[in-house]
Amino acid sequence: MKFGLANSASDLFAIAMGLFSSADLSIFHEFEPPPTGGGHQFLRALWKQAEAHGLRVENNSLSRTTRACLLNSFNFKEKRLQRLKRDSVLYVHRVDGPIDVYRGRDGGVDKNIHAVNLKFANKTIFQSQYSLEKHLALGMEFKNPTVILNAADPEIFHSRGRVEFSRNRKTRLVASSWSDNLNKGALIYQWLDEHLDWERFEMTFVGRSPVVFKNIRMLPAVDSYRMAELFRENDIYLTASKNDPCSNSLIEALTCGLPAIYLQSGGHPEIVKQAGAGFEAAEQIPELLSQLTDQYEAVQSRISIPSIKEVSTQYLKVLELVS
């Protein structure tokens, strides 16, 4: 690597440090402190699992011994990667979305992600089959794609100590969203707020909503530990997000033992499989909730999602860091 590629003191320092430090895997992603979205949580868990394999991990840098680099979507500094890039490193691009479809507007994000993929990536990891097929339908082909679902951190999200389900009390529903985008389902939750039988159910919404609810308890965004506690205090997870490629919140709720009622959209059916039921309109939800309540134990027993250990091993195989 040539020092002349650096155009700032910080870049020069990063390159110099790379010459004297060592790592096996670099994760290019701009982490933010919690509470934040699921991508941050997943990559933190992946980092811990890589270290459990005895691998040395770094963030947004390339050391002299770096063998593989995981690029997360568009959440990293492309110019920095360009300056640090070496041909001896294997570059794997983790892609979600299509994000413009998810957000409901054409901001050019997916075209930029596709351009980054063609420029840097040797391989691509999609987070759901839906995501891969939707990109292909939009005319975007990515380098050597494979599909690996996300997984939750088992140290935080687990079913131990969860509140036992009972038909002798109200059934407890929970939903969450860190975004107030209407595609996250606020209008469906608003319909439930006005029509659900509150003698049979109670519901908590955690996060941000453009709608203020009357009957649904609203809580601000919380960190992962508190979110896991809330999952274990409730019975059923409800998600109405649209075109969501691989909802980490849905995965975390299932990991905590909650069957799910979900909008038939995005990657939800791939994640839930037989551990819940999908709807296409809000009016279908009350009947689905009644059916799930009647069959709760059987549906709950069908929760089947990969562990973070399994998912991380799949990632590390794609990154060619384990056999």
Whether 111 and 195 map to the same domain: the answer is no
Whether 146 and 29 map to the same domain: the answer is yes
Whether 117 and 187 map to the same domain: the answer is no
Whether 292 and 311 map to the same domain: the answer is no
For 283-319, how does the pLDDT look when each residue is reduced to its tens digit (9 = 90+)? Answer: 999 999 999 999 999 999 999 999 999 999 999 999 9
Whether 126 and 179 map to the same domain: the answer is no
Whether 138 and 9 map to the same domain: the answer is yes
Is a pLDDT exceeding 80 seen at residue 108?
yes
pLDDT bucket at 31, cuts 50 / 70 / 90: confident
Number of domains in the chain: 2
The residue assigned the tokens 């929760």 is 303
Whether 197 and 312 map to the same domain: the answer is no
For 183-214, how does the pLDDT look when each residue is reduced to its tens digit (9 = 90+)? Answer: 889 999 999 999 999 999 999 999 999 999 99
Both tokens assigned to 322: 């384990």
The residue assigned the tokens 């649904």 is 216
Whether 31 and 78 map to the same domain: the answer is yes
**Can you give the CATH number for the domain in which 243 is found?**
3.40.50.2000
pLDDT at residue 21, as a whole number: 65
Supply the range of the domain harboring residue 46.
3-150+307-318
**165 located within any domain:** no
Prediction pTM value: 0.85
User: How many angstroms separate the CA atoms of 316 and 84, rounded?
Assistant: 22
- The residues, any chain, with a CB within 8 Å of residue 37's CB and separated by 6 or more, are 178, 179, 248
